[in-house]
Amino acid sequence: MARATRVLLIFGSFVAVVGAAFYPIYFLPLQQIKRYKQEQAKNRAGIVQENIQPPGLKVWSDPFGRK
């Protein structure tokens, strides 16, 4: 019984660490769309897409846009 508890504890710890790392990468931006849109607008201010976009590639689009 102690071995099963140890394996469960190790597996549960791994899942918790992966979940804690995944939360700010995926779920936080989905919950704070307005804040991330403002950050992207600030970061992309003054950038002319035609000057830096290689020919034949898709033009930047809003990553938070809904289809």
- Alpha carbon distance 30, 16 (integer Å): 20
Domain locations in the chain as residue ranges: 22-48
Kindly list the distances between the CA atom of residue 7 and the CA atoms of 11, 29, 55, in Å, as whole numbers in the listed order: 6, 33, 53
Tens digit of each residue's pLDDT (9 = 90 or more) over 9-63: 999 999 999 999 999 998 888 899 899 889 988 988 888 877 787 777 777 777 7
- Alpha carbon distance 60, 62 (integer Å): 7
How far separated are the first and last CA of the chain, in Å rounded? Answer: 51
- Asked if residue 2 has pLDDT above 90, the reply is no
- Alpha carbon distance 18, 60 (integer Å): 30
Q: Is 19 helix (H, G, I), strand (E, B) or coil?
A: helix
